[in-house]
Amino acid sequence: MKIVITGVTRGLGRALAEWYIAHGHTVIGCGRSAAVVELRFTHPLPHDFAAVDVAQDNRVALWAEKVLAAHGAPDLLINNAALMNNPAPLWKIPAREFDQLIDVNVKGVANVIRHFVPAMVARGSGVIVNLSSGWGRSAAADFAPYCASKYAIEGLSKALAQGLPAGMAVVPLNPGVIDTDMLRQSWSDGASSHPKPDKWAETAAPFILSLGPKDNGRSVSVPGVEG
C-alpha cells in the first residue's frame, strides 16, 4: 500500500511511518524539520521524504506533482501535520500565533487534499484520514485556537465526504491522548502517564488500515486509547 503522511518527522506521524514501513508498506512523507534528511537515509527508495511546509500551497503543489509522477495516487492519505498553541485565554494569544496554527492545521489539510485527492478521485479509490482530536469534539479554555482548528477538521471532513465517489472515504480521526511534544506543550505535568507514539502506533496503524468506504464521513477514534 502507498501511504502519504504529513508531519512525518516526529510524534504520531513518525510513529505511523515507522510502523507502516516495518510492515511492508511504502511511505511518502513530508515535514518541516531536519529529520527529513535522517528519514531519507534510514528509509531509502521506494520510500520518499521531502521538506515541505503544508501551509504553503505552492510548495504542496510541487511536492504532490513529484509524488504523483513517481508513485501514482496514494491508497491512504493521512493529514497529520499540526501545531498546538501555547496555553492562554484566547484574548491573550497573539494574532501571529493564531494565524500560524490555522495555516497549518486547517489550510494545510485543505492544501494537501487539493493536490492529492483529484488523482484518488480519478482512480475511484482511496482513504483520507484527517487527524482530529478530542478537542475537536469538546473544548478547553486555554486552547481555543487548537479547538477551533480541530472542529474545522471535523466539519471539513464531513463536507468532503458528501462529494467523494462511492469507493472512497474521508474520516476525521481522534487519535486519543498520547505522550507527544504537543501534549507536553499543553499538559506537561500529565503527559508522561500516557502511551508513547510508538506504542500507540501498534494499535492506531492497523486500525487506520481497516478504515474504508463504510466509514466515509464518520467521526472515529482509535480504540482503547484514552481521550
In the chain, helix, strand, coil percent, each to 5? 50, 15, 35
Domains of the chain by range and CATH? Answer: 2-221 (3.40.50.720)
Backbone conformation region of residue 217, classed left if phi is above 0, alpha if psi is from -120 to 50, else beta: left
> CA–CA separation, 140 vs 79, rounded Å?
23
Do 39 and 49 form a contact (C-beta atoms < 8 A)? yes
Q: Which of 146, 151, 200, 207 is catalytic?
A: 146
Do 13 and 34 form a contact (C-beta atoms < 8 A)? no
pLDDT per residue rounded down to tens, the chain (227 residues):
999 999 999 999 999 999 999 999 999 999 988 889 999 999 999 999 999 999 999 999 999 999 999 999 999 999 999 999 999 999 999 999 999 999 999 999 999 999 999 999 999 999 999 999 999 999 999 999 999 999 999 999 999 999 999 999 999 999 988 875 665 555 555 555 667 889 999 999 999 999 999 999 999 999 987 65
- Residue 179 confidence (pLDDT): 72
> CA–CA separation, 100 vs 107, rounded Å?
10
Q: Give the CA count within 13 Å in the CB-facing half-sphere of 65.
A: 6
Task: Tell me, yes or no, if the pTM score tops 0.85.
Answer: yes
Cα three-residue angle 34-201-167, rounded to 5 degrees: 100
- Residue 20 annotated as catalytic: no
- Residue 195 confidence (pLDDT): 74
